[in-house]
Amino acid sequence: MDNHELYMRRCLQLALLGAGDTAPNPMVGAVLVHGRRIIGEGYHRQYGQAHAEVNCINSVAEEDKHLVTQSTIYVSLEPCAHFGKTPPCADLIIQQRIPKVVVGCRDPFEAVNGKGIEKLQNAGIEVITGVRGQECQRLNKRFFTFYTKQRPYILLKWAQTADGYIAGGGTEHLLITNAIANKLVHKWRTEEAGILVGTNTARLDNPTLDNRLWAGKAPVRLVLDMHLQLPPTLQLFDGRHKTIVLNAHKQEEAGNITYHKLTEDVGLVQQILDACCQHRILSIMVEGGARLLQSFIDSGLWDEARVITNEALFIGEGLPAPRLQRLTHRYSEKILGDRVDYIER
């Protein structure tokens, strides 16, 4: 492993420390190196606050500040070149007279997308790009999907019995997963910007769709209720978290609940994704029901699926689980009696 890859790996490690707190911004790590010694480190800690480069430069000890102008800064994502919540990081690097910048990958956001690199080069700074580029892109797969495909990153999730059912034949709620697997699902929720369910799932299960079993930021709750049939007493409408009701009748806001109007003569899945883009929801976890999940699968609009199977539970009949096609990558882990399959397209 050469030095560039070594220091970029450290950038990736630092960037991950911001997981769950930077959206809709990406996770970014930065390292400042003099010779073979790291003299500064930083990462983007919180949306709206200082970027990785700022925190990295500010971390340099007083006795090392004279070395900044002789150092190389490594950044997992191209330094920004525009004024947003904070000033441009490319300008800061120029002001600090750092002579060399190593970038993991370009930023696909239109206001950046090569402009940061160009600004640095025009200032006479040497710029190297593409170091651990695929890893840097994968780290921010939600961010890259949103800005390159103009849709959120789509994660499908469901739990099923050993014989392939997600619910029994009656109205009683079927408990499939164990307590540890349930906690894992709540962790997953903190990693996504939104969580989506259909009308029947909301009515029959009355879910809270929060992350009460895991510390972190709660996702935006989205529920598909085309004809506004769901009772206001459901936990989804408790006002504790932002909730978007996707429907065919009205467009309005009522406290922490937003009604987003769809039409019935256009593809429903695409409209849901367009609504997410309008509300800057970079990723969604689709949790049910079966028909809604299958509609995402059939449309080819999904990126990843996580399926929890209780290998000891057989019910003989019920609501069949969705069916996946065109799998490209799959691995599994065991959580007591449950198996978790991670599937990517």
Angle between helix 290-299 and helix 268-278 axes, rounded to 10 deg? 90
Beta strands 243-247 and 220-224 are parallel
- Kindly state the DSSP code that residue 44 receives in the 8-state scheme: -
Query: Which amino acid, 280?
Result: R
Instruction: Name the residues annotated as catalytic.
Output: 53
Number of C-beta neighbours around residue 191 at 10 A: 18
**Helix H or strand E segment including 70:** none
Distances (CA, A) of 302 to 195, 277, 305, 343: 14, 15, 8, 11
Contacts of 212 (CB under 8 A, 6+ apart): 186
| DSSP state letters, 289-335 | -HHHHHHHHHHT--SEEEEEEETT---SSSEEPP------EEEEEEE
Under 8 Å between Cβ of 196 and 222: yes
Query: Which amino acid, 88?
Result: P
